[in-house]
Amino acid sequence: MSETYRLHVNGVDHEVADGWLGESLLYVLRERLGLYGSKGACEQGECGSCSVLVDGELVCACLVLAAGAVGRPIVTIEGIGAGGELTDVQRAFVDTGAVQCGFCTPGLIMATHRLLDRDPDPADIDIREALSGNICRCTGYGRIVEAVQRVAVARRGGAR
């Protein structure tokens, strides 16, 4: 049994050494790889703060066994933009004031990217359903939904 394994995170291979193989991907990202963007709150898949992409699918990193994710491409909030630039989704969250304490924001950004990649013109109900697994206790969601709509409109060339 190997006590060292490799995870492919944000395009880079990371060696995970000295880990316990029962650790969640969230724990490994934060505590072993120093990627603190994904947040840990409920550790039971309820809050969405740890949302990441594994093999392109949006999942809760707290419910992924890290050692079981060997060989799968993982994208975290640190890897969603290119070269340290904010993505259009991140910019829209800032512009609309969809961020207050910021704890839920990385998860919401990941979920929004996944939604808009799949559905460039989501209705309000689609946005709310796509973000239903991401809990925000500050904003009341109004500005978050507005941010998503703003990106969708902008990506379509500004046509409403």
Partner 1 sequence: MGLCTICQVAVLIPRSLHDALGALDGHPGALVLAGGTDLMVEVNEGHRRIEPDLTVVAVDRVPELRTWTLDRAAGTLRIGAGVSYAELEDEPLAELLPALAQAARTVGSPQIRNAATIGGNLATCSPAGDGLPVLSALGATVELASAAGTRTLPVDEFMLGVKRTALQPGELLTAVTVPLLQGWQGYAKVGVRNAMVIAIAGACVAVDGPSRSVRLALGSVAPTVVRAAEAEAYAAANVAWSGDPVDPAVATEFGRLAAEASRPIDDHRATAAYRRHAVEVLSRRLLTRAFA
Interface residue list for partner 1 (CB under 8 A): 1, 3, 18-22, 24, 43-46, 48, 51, 57-60, 62-65, 67-68, 70-71, 111, 114, 129-130, 132-134
* Pairwise CA distance, residues 29 & 40, whole Å: 11
Of the candidates 70, 69, 107, the one whose C-alpha atom is nearest the C-alpha of residue 90 is 107
Residue 111 or 147: the one with the smaller Cβ distance to partner 1 is 111
Q: Which is nearer to partner 1, 19 or 79 (CB)?
A: 19
Q: Which residues pair with 24 in a beta bridge?
A: 65
Q: How far is the CB of 129 from partner 1 (least distance, A)?
A: 7
How many whole angstroms separate alpha carbon 126 and alpha carbon 116?
Answer: 10
For partner 1, the closer of residues 65 and 123 by Cβ is 65
Least distance (Å) between residue 43 CB and partner 1? 4
Burial 48-79 (b: 16+ CB within 10 A, else e): bbbbbbbeeebbbbbebebbebeeeebbbbbb
Nearest CA among 70, 100, 80 for reference residue 8: 70
Min separation Cβ 91 and partner 1, Å: 23
- Of 20 and 142, the one with the shorter C-beta distance to partner 1 is 20
